[in-house]
């Protein structure tokens, strides 16, 4: 009795389509529905000309671009969006670069304090930057007095701050990837007379493009999503990031502004979704080797 | 610099085998190409320019410690990039500087703040507190003159030193009051209108109303010392002679109220002035309170019960999020990971779409979908649940949101891990007669756990401090009527945020202490977890 059951489970023709595949599609469709319905809801809310939360449904009764024109006409969204792109791109690229440089040193050089350096990075990583938000705020209040250009309410201050967290987050991940590149490569280059900077920029960096893409993209998404520090640091309407600005839109007038908010949400999602599709191949590999999205 | 280049090029061409490391702009081996030289000079030049830019405000404010640090850091940078040795340092220094400035220093600052009473009412020194108390209690000296005031300056209207030009309405005498004191002006040097207000005075520029209004905070704080006290402005056209009603007396180390006779004695351990009944003056100063912020959590009845509740919920939230996202992700991954099944790629790329959406705005969308009156969920299901009104529903709601945000990530990594498990293992188990569920439990699942344990730990650590996940969805609420500071879905980080930046007055010291608690908890969990998965031992 059990023997025949086993044969069926191993995939002979006797099982029938539903028992083999049908139920899997059912589970897959349920998962899809769960994943997609909030996204569908935002998109239809953004197209709903009434623009209120109470009138928003999964399928909009009527469609129009009123919310989008209102978003750009009456709020500073275009400014917020540019701020987000500026802060996101610059801090992602710069932090990618400085942590790649650090990972190169840890992976390719042996020096005094290397082990201690690696272990302390692991420890620092456990104390996320935003836990020190009180101290950061007080420090930047001081910096604002001295250098208003990089103080509170500026994109530059926030970028500098995010760079402070770069080493702790990415170095380990990158070092692991650097270690998988055979050392013979750089050793033979060294014999041929290449300097350390030629090895780093000319040999190693081109080989680690996938991991750079992953850390860069996750860094970008994390910055777009960073709310705690940004909401404390950016209070001027013109300096806000999209996340902080959109939050302000519906923190007071929750029902009436929902359509405009949704329009902003849809636009904000475009860069990350596009980048994600573009780099998906790399990301799946990077995630399984230990990257965590915030 | 050009000398160095010539010599090194010469040397390089003559005896390539005998390169000696040298200090300078040329490469570590003594050779350099023009292009790289230009890059180096540019980079170091920018660094020097930035350092110079940063130096001016420090010199302006006489911040010599800051200047010293700036000079030392700049010198270190130049040394590292000009020296042929210390190659690893060239790669480590940029990140390390940022790490020290914006992570290590803030962490140390947080820890030291945790041992103080720093916060609203306890910001400055004792002397500042005394000045603030005296200034706040200024009353007009009984029987004194109220002067007609014109605000003037000896310098630029926008920034010059302030001068109060005053007219005594009784005697029509004119005075100029500066921070140094009061001086009578000869009547010939002054033109006043019929009301006595000075319109022109030799050697002074009278501020227009607009100019004065722009400097009104400065004017309000300005005072002209007199024998009985000082002259203060009242609005922009009157000045009165006032004296503090509450004054500090060094003899008893206390504040005495001249009218009521009450005294408040300084309590150095608490940083405030306290009267006999134990009532404090609102203005205190910053002192070291030792471990009090930490012991309060254990000994203070009110704080302890809400803190323990929050801590417990924090663990349930973080652990629960990991558990449900992992469970659902795994189930979906196993179901869809079947060779020969059609449409796997479509499922995969659509299921992970929420992962690419900006989480912050999607959290807000979820919050509004749970809205009682207008929300999609109540409207679609026909329920009338006040989701964020009661603790259990609010907790279910935030967990459900996390499930949506997180399960696709788990699905992704589980799929990856499943595909890396060799097929022979599961096939061998089924040939041996193991039922699929049994084979899964004994072979596949343990292998998955080994592969994914570090990710699960990181996910726990992340969710333990998932500020946005709580703050943007439930705001920490609902709050019990007797405690507006600690709600039913509050986790420690949202509690910290409210202590520091909430409306009820900043308590930086206590907030910092809670941060230290969070750090200790997360570090302990992570170290135990990583120890067990042995990733710490792989440092080589």
Asked if A290 reaches chain B (Cβ–Cβ under 8 Å), the answer is yes
Is the CB of A290 less than 8 angstroms away from the CB of B376? no
Name the pLDDT band for B4 (thresholds 50, 70, 90).
very low
Look at residue B536 in the predicted model and tell me its pLDDT: 43
If asked whether residues A231 and A92 sit together in one domain, one would say yes
Look at residue B537 in the predicted model and tell me its pLDDT: 47
Is the CB of B497 less than 8 angstroms away from the CB of A9? no
Contact B285, B271 (CB under 8 A): yes
3-state helix, strand, coil in chain B (%, to 5): 55, 15, 30
How many angstroms separate the CA of residue A134 from the nearest CA in chain B? 7
Look at residue A187 in the predicted model and tell me its pLDDT: 87
Cβ-in-10-Å burial (0-12, 13-18, 19+) of B170 comes to: exposed
Name the pLDDT band for A158 (thresholds 50, 70, 90).
very high
Is the CB of A135 less than 8 angstroms away from the CB of B353? no
Which residue intervals of chain B bear CATH 2.40.430.10?
A: 143-244
Give the residue on B whose Cα is nearest the Cα of A58.
Answer: B376
Cβ-in-10-Å burial (0-12, 13-18, 19+) of B221 comes to: exposed
pLDDT for B127-186, tens place per residue? 888 888 888 888 887 777 888 888 888 888 777 888 888 888 888 888 888 888 888 888
Rounded CA separation A84/A264 (Å): 12
Name the pLDDT band for A287 (thresholds 50, 70, 90).
low
* CATH code of the domain in which A115 resides: 1.10.3720.10
Rounded CA separation B280/B133 (Å): 12
Res A286 pLDDT > 60 = no
Look at residue B324 in the predicted model and tell me its pLDDT: 96
Give the residue on B whose Cα is nearest the Cα of A217.
Answer: B356
Two tokens at B93?
């220094």
Q: Report if residue A227 sits inside a domain.
A: yes
Look at residue A156 in the predicted model and tell me its pLDDT: 92
If asked whether residues A109 and A36 sit together in one domain, one would say no
By DSSP bridging, strand B162-167 and strand B174-178 are: antiparallel
| Better-scored residue on pLDDT, A212 or B14 | A212
- Site from B85, B106, B326 to mutate, A interface, most A CB atoms within 10 angstroms: B106
Asked if B52 reaches chain A (Cβ–Cβ under 8 Å), the answer is no
Asked if A282 reaches chain B (Cβ–Cβ under 8 Å), the answer is no
If asked whether residues A27 and A88 sit together in one domain, one would say no
Q: Report if residue A6 sits inside a domain.
A: no
pLDDT for B336-389, tens place per residue? 887 778 888 888 888 888 888 888 889 999 998 888 877 888 888 878 888 888
Look at residue B26 in the predicted model and tell me its pLDDT: 57
If asked whether residues A51 and A136 sit together in one domain, one would say no
Look at residue B353 in the predicted model and tell me its pLDDT: 86
Which residue from A24, A105, A292 is facing B91, i.e. has the nearest CB? A105
pLDDT for B246-294, tens place per residue? 888 888 888 888 778 788 888 888 888 888 887 888 888 888 888 888 8
- Top CATH class of B299-538 equals mainly alpha
How many angstroms separate the CA of residue A35 from the nearest CA in chain B? 6
Res B19 pLDDT > 70 = no
CA angle A27, A31, A33 (to 5 degrees): 115
If asked whether residues A39 and A161 sit together in one domain, one would say no
Name the pLDDT band for B17 (thresholds 50, 70, 90).
very low
Look at residue B2 in the predicted model and tell me its pLDDT: 40
Ramachandran region of residue B207, left (φ > 0), alpha (ψ -120 to 50) or beta? beta
Q: Report if residue A248 sits inside a domain.
A: yes
Computed over its alpha carbons, how large is the radius of gyration of chain B?
35
Percent of chain B with pLDDT over 70: 92
Asked if B88 reaches chain A (Cβ–Cβ under 8 Å), the answer is yes
Look at residue A289 in the predicted model and tell me its pLDDT: 52
Residue carrying the six token digits 């945000």: B405
Structurally, chain A folds into a number of domains equal to: 2
Two tokens at B229?
């006290």
Asked if A146 reaches chain B (Cβ–Cβ under 8 Å), the answer is yes
Look at residue A284 in the predicted model and tell me its pLDDT: 62
Chain B residues inside the 8 Å CB shell of A224: 358, 360
Is the CB of B94 less than 8 angstroms away from the CB of A160? no
If asked whether residues A22 and A85 sit together in one domain, one would say no
> Domain span at residue A177?
75-288
Look at residue A23 in the predicted model and tell me its pLDDT: 86
End-of-domain residue from the set A37, A64, A91: A64
| Better-scored residue on pLDDT, B148 or B323 | B323
3-state helix, strand, coil in chain A (%, to 5): 80, 0, 20
Look at residue B31 in the predicted model and tell me its pLDDT: 55
Look at residue B24 in the predicted model and tell me its pLDDT: 63
Percent of chain B with pLDDT over 90: 13
Rounded CA separation B2/A226 (Å): 48
Q: Which residues contact B448 (CB under 8 A, 6 or more apart)?
A: B330, B414, B417, B418, B421
Mean pLDDT of chain A: 82
Q: Report if residue A2 sits inside a domain.
A: no
If asked whether residues A154 and A276 sit together in one domain, one would say yes
If asked whether residues A170 and A30 sit together in one domain, one would say no
Res B120 pLDDT > 90 = no
Res A151 pLDDT > 80 = yes
Chain A residues inside the 8 Å CB shell of B54: 147
Res A113 pLDDT > 90 = no
Rounded CA separation A222/A237 (Å): 22
Q: How far apart are the first and last CA of chain B?
A: 41
Q: Report if residue A240 sits inside a domain.
A: yes
Give the residue on A whose Cα is nearest the Cα of B413.
Answer: A288
If asked whether residues A131 and A224 sit together in one domain, one would say yes
Is the CB of A273 less than 8 angstroms away from the CB of B357? yes
Is the CB of A98 less than 8 angstroms away from the CB of B472? no
CA atoms within 13 A on the CB side of B133: 28
Q: What is the pTM of this model?
A: 0.78
If asked whether residues A185 and A210 sit together in one domain, one would say yes
Which residue intervals of chain B bear CATH 1.10.3720.10?
A: 299-538
Count how many pairs of residues, chain A against chain B, have C-beta atoms within 8 Å: 291
| Better-scored residue on pLDDT, B170 or A108 | A108
Mean pLDDT of chain B: 82
Query: Which of 45-104 (A) contact B at CB < 8 A?
Result: 52-54, 56-58, 98-99, 101-102, 104
pLDDT for B189-241, tens place per residue? 788 888 788 888 888 888 888 888 888 888 888 888 887 778 888 878 888 88
Which residue from B102, B336, B518 is facing A28, i.e. has the nearest CB? B336
Among B41-45, B128-132, B535-539, which is the least confidently predicted range?
B535-539
Res A87 pLDDT > 90 = yes
Look at residue A7 in the predicted model and tell me its pLDDT: 43
Asked if A150 reaches chain B (Cβ–Cβ under 8 Å), the answer is no
Q: Which fold has domain B143-244?
A: Periplasmic binding protein-like II (2.40.430)
Rounded CA separation B361/A265 (Å): 6
Q: Phi/psi at A227 (nearest 5 deg)?
A: -115, -40
Q: Report if residue A212 sits inside a domain.
A: yes
- Site from A2, A8, A21, A35 to mutate, B interface, most B CB atoms within 10 angstroms: A35
């Amino acid at each position: 009795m059990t023997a025949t059951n086993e044969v069926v489970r191993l995939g002979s023709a006797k099982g029938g389509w539903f028992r083999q595949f049908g139920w899997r599609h059912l589970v897959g469709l349920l998962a899809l529905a769960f994943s997609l319905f909030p996204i569908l809801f935002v998109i239809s809310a953004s197209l709903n000309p009434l623009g209120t939360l109470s009138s928003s449904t999964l399928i909009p009764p009527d469609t129009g671009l009123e919310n989008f024109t209102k978003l750009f006409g009456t709020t500073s969204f275009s400014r917020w969006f540019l701020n987000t792109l500026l802060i996101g791109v610059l801090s992602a690229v710069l932090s990618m670069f400085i942590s790649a440089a650090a990972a190169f040193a840890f992976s390719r050089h042996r020096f005094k304090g290397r082990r201690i350096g690696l272990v302390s990075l692991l420890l620092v990583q456990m104390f996320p930057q935003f836990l020190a938000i009180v101290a950061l705020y007080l420090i930047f209040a001081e910096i604002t007095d001295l250098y208003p250009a990089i103080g509170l309410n500026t994109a530059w201050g926030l970028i500098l701050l995010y760079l402070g967290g770069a080493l702790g987050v990415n170095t380990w991940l990158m070092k692991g990837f650097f270690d998988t590149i055979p050392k013979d490569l750089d050793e033979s280059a060294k014999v041929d007379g290449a300097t350390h900077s030629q090895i780093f920029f000319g040999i190693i960096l081109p080989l680690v493009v996938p991991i750079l893409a992953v850390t860069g993209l996750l860094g970008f998404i994390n910055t777009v999503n960073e709310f705690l520090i940004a909401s404390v640091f950016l209070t001027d309407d013109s300096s806000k990031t999209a996340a902080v600005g959109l939050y302000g839109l519906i923190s007071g007038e929750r029902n009436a502004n929902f359509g405009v908010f949704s329009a902003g949400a849809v636009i904000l999602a475009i860069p990350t979704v596009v980048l994600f599709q573009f780099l998906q191949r790399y990301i799946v590999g990077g995630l399984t080797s230990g990257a965590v999205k915030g | 610099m050009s000398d160095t280049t010539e010599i090194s090029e010469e040397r390089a061409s003559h005896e390539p085998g005998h390169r000696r490391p040298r200090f300078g702009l040329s490469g570590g081996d003594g050779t350099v190409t023009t292009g790289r030289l230009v890059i180096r000079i540019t980079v170091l030049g920018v660094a020097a320019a930035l350092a110079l830019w940063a130096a001016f405000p420090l010199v302006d404010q006489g911040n010599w410690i800051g200047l010293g640090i700036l000079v030392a850091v700049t010198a270190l940078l130049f040394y590292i990039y000009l020296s042929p040795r210390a190659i690893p340092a060239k790669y480590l220094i940029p990140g390390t500087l940022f790490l020290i400035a914006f992570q290590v220093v803030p962490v140390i600052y947080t820890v030291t703040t945790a041992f103080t009473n720093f916060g609203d009412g306890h910001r400055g020194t004792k002397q500042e507190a005394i000045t603030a108390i005296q200034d706040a209690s200024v009353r007009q000296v009984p029987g004194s003159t109220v002067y007609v005031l014109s605000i003037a300056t000896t310098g630029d209207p926008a920034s010059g030193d302030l001068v109060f030009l005053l007219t005594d309405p009784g005697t029509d005498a004119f005075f100029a009051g500066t921070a140094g004191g009061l001086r009578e002006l000869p009547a010939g040097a002054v033109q006043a209108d019929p009301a006595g207000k000075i319109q022109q005075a030799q050697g002074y520029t009278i501020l227009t109303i607009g100019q004065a209004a722009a400097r009104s905070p400065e004017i309000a704080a300005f005072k002209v010392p007199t024998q009985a006290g000082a002259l203060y402005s009242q609005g922009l056209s009157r000045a009165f002679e006032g004296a503090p009603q509450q004054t500090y007396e060094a003899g008893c180390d206390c504040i005495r109220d001249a009218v009521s006779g009450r005294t408040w004695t300084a309590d150095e351990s608490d940083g405030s002035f306290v009267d006999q009944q134990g009532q404090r003056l609102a203005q205190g100063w910053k002192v070291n309170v030792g471990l009090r912020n930490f012991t309060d959590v254990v000994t203070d009845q009110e704080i302890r019960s809400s803190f323990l509740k929050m801590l417990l919920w924090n663990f349930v939230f973080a652990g629960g999020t990991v558990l449900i996202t992992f469970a659902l992700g795994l189930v979906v991954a196993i179901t869809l990971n079947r060779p020969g099944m059609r449409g796997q790629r479509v499922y995969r790329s659509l299921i992970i779409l929420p992962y690419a959406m900006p989480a912050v705005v999607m959290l807000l969308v979820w919050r509004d979908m749970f809205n009682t009156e207008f929300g999609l969920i109540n409207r679609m299901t026909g329920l009338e649940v006040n989701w964020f009104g009661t603790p259990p529903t609010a907790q279910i709601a935030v967990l459900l949101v996390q499930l949506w945000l997180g399960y696709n990530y788990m699905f992704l990594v589980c799929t990856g891990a499943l595909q890396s498990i060799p097929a022979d293992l599961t096939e061998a188990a089924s040939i041996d007669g193991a039922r699929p569920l049994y084979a899964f439990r004994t072979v596949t699942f343990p292998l998955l756990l080994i592969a994914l344990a570090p990710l699960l730990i990181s996910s726990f650590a992340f969710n333990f401090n998932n500020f946005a996940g709580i703050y943007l969805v439930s705001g920490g609420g609902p709050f019990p009527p007797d405690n507006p500071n600690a709600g039913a879905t509050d986790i420690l980080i949202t509690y910290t945020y409210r202590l520091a930046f909430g409306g009820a007055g900043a308590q930086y010291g206590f907030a910092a202490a809670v941060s230290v608690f969070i750090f200790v908890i997360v570090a302990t969990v992570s170290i135990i977890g990583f120890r067990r998965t042995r990733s710490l031992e792989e440092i080589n």
